[in-house]
A and B are shown apart, each in its own frame.
Chain A
Amino acid sequence: MSLGLPINVQKQVDPRQNSFVPRVFTVTGKTRETADTVTIKAHSGDGGVQLEARPGQFNMLYVHGIGEIPVSLSAVGSDGSLLHTVRRVGPVSKALGNLRIGESFGVRGPYGTHWPLESLHGRSVIVLAGGLGLAPLRPAIHHLLKFRDAFGEVGIYCGARSPADRIFASEFSRWQREKPHATGAKSIQVRVTVDRVPDQAKAAWHGEIGVVTSLLPRSISDPVNAAAMICGPEVMMRHAVQDLLQLGIAKEHIYLSLERNMKCAVGLCGHCQLSRYFVCRDGPVFSFDAVEHLLTVKEL
């Protein structure tokens, strides 16, 4: 039985067969996630076929006259819309964040590897996200929710700088409420922690305070049949991997999404080279055993 995918996507696109010319998309919605982060919903403006993307892949977003940056898809709407979550940190991301509904921008993609969700069927899954790292994981979480019975226990652990810096916070309770259909299966566990709570927010914050890895369970029932997907600052991921290995999860079942300076997105320019890999083409999602020896090399 094919379980299909939660988003309109069934095959990988070979980007080198596509032109470098972006397709035009129009902003059809904006959600302010935090003071500096916005989710942009966009529809194709050229009437062409829908982009086919898998959870974890990214697009190159181009703002006319400003430049182009890689941004992971944070969801694909049932109407074919693309959702990208952007933090305003540079000229292009600021310009993207400032786009108004009805304005257009360019999209190339989707590119890169994806979370191997189909191969995780039958396994318990840990999702560990730090800060904006939750954005590339959100489509994977949507898949876990949609096909809940295909997985064992699922834990979603999120870290943020402060309560006000949490993205997709309004979805957490829905994820937690999601019940499996299978008898005896457990609900998804969703836990959130923040690094600090400003004085003005402390009365309203009832979650955890501490580093995101402290949310991980101390033990899991069947580590051989467990897997993990991690996205966040690379330092956090390096430490998280050590904790996951301690839990007994195999290196080849720990997946992380890496970030480098991606420019062409098709493995030609070399800006995102990580030893023998191009992160844009061979990543951004890697299994830990593939990149373990590279993550502590300072020159990379």
Chain B
Amino acid sequence: MTTQTIEDLIASHPFFIALGAEFTRFVAGCAKNRYAEKGEYLAHEGDEAAALFLVRRGKVSIETNIPGRGGVMVETLGAGDMSGWSWLFPPHKWTFDIKALEGTSFVELNGKCLREKCEGDPRLGYEVAKRLAGMMVDRLRSTRLRLLDLYGDHSA
């Protein structure tokens, strides 16, 4: 059995697929391999947003706490998904909670480190920004479709 390096894990994740060896090595300097137990929070709303998460296995939820209702799940993400872009945008605070719904393996990229590398190398910065923008477009489209309540009874 061969052991995968952190660079391998990043390079094989859909978010960073075809990033190129040079950038992958560069980004890997900000990364560590992590595991979260079921129920463990990866991020708390309002805390400093200091990470980008590449989910490798397992499942996390994006959720928010509503008084009287507890944690309300907005979306679930699984293997191959990424989560966390608030590290790129001021004020660098999480806007939702991220919680592991089952044992979850992921690569955590330090947001401050990645931000500095993106600002130091505009080619990398543009590449990461494009990928983030693409992800946001997907999530926005999904949210809009759900807002339409397509499966509801609209016959009345």
Contacts and interface: CB of A to CB of B under 8 A. Distances in A.
Q: Real complex partners, A and B?
A: yes
A89 B73 contact: no
A195 B155 CA distance: 19
Given A197-B73, A199-B69, A89 B153 contact: yes
- Name the prevailing secondary structure of the B interface residues: mixed
B69 to A, nearest CB: 5
B76 A87 contact: no
A161 B101 CA distance: 21
Given A209-B74, A213-B142, A236-B145, A89 B150 contact: no
Given A209-B61, A233-B150, A235-B150, A89 B155 contact: yes
A181 B82 CA distance: 36
A65 B72 CA distance: 47
Interface size of B as a range:
20 to 34
A211 B142 contact: yes
B150 A131 contact: yes
Q: Determine the interface band of chain A, counting residues with CB < 8 A from chain B.
A: 20 to 34
Given A89-B155, A130-B151, A161-B151, A208 B78 contact: yes
Interface string A155-193: 000011100010000000000000000000000000001
Interface string A70-103: 0000000000000000010110000000000000
Interface centre among B59, B70, B145 (most CB of A within 10 A): B145
Interface in B5-62: 14, 59, 61
A172 B108 CA distance: 34
Given A90-B155, A211-B142, A235-B145, A199 B150 contact: no
B153 A195 contact: no
A131 B155 contact: no
B121 interface: no
A222 B38 CA distance: 35
A239 B80 contact: no
Contacts of A87: 153
B152 interface: yes
Given A161-B152, A239-B141, 14 more contacts: A165-B151, A195-B149, A196-B146, A197-B73, A199-B69, A202-B73, A206-B101, A207-B76, A209-B73, A211-B146, A218-B80, A233-B150, A233-B151, A236-B145
29 contacts: A89-B153, A89-B155, A90-B155, A130-B151, A159-B151, A161-B151, A161-B152, A165-B151, A196-B146, A199-B69, A199-B70, A199-B72, A202-B72, A202-B73, A208-B59, A209-B73, A210-B75, A210-B142, A210-B146, A211-B141, A211-B142, A213-B142, A213-B145, A214-B138, A218-B14, A233-B151, A235-B148, A236-B150, A239-B145
9 residue pairs, one from A and one from B, having the closest CB atoms: A131-B151, A161-B151, A233-B150, A211-B142, A89-B155, A209-B76, A208-B76, A195-B146, A211-B145
Interface of A: 36, 87, 89-90, 130-132, 159-161, 165, 193, 195-197, 199, 202, 206-211, 213-214, 218, 232-233, 235-236, 239
Interface of B: 14, 59, 61, 69-70, 72-76, 78, 80, 101, 138, 141-142, 145-146, 148-153, 155
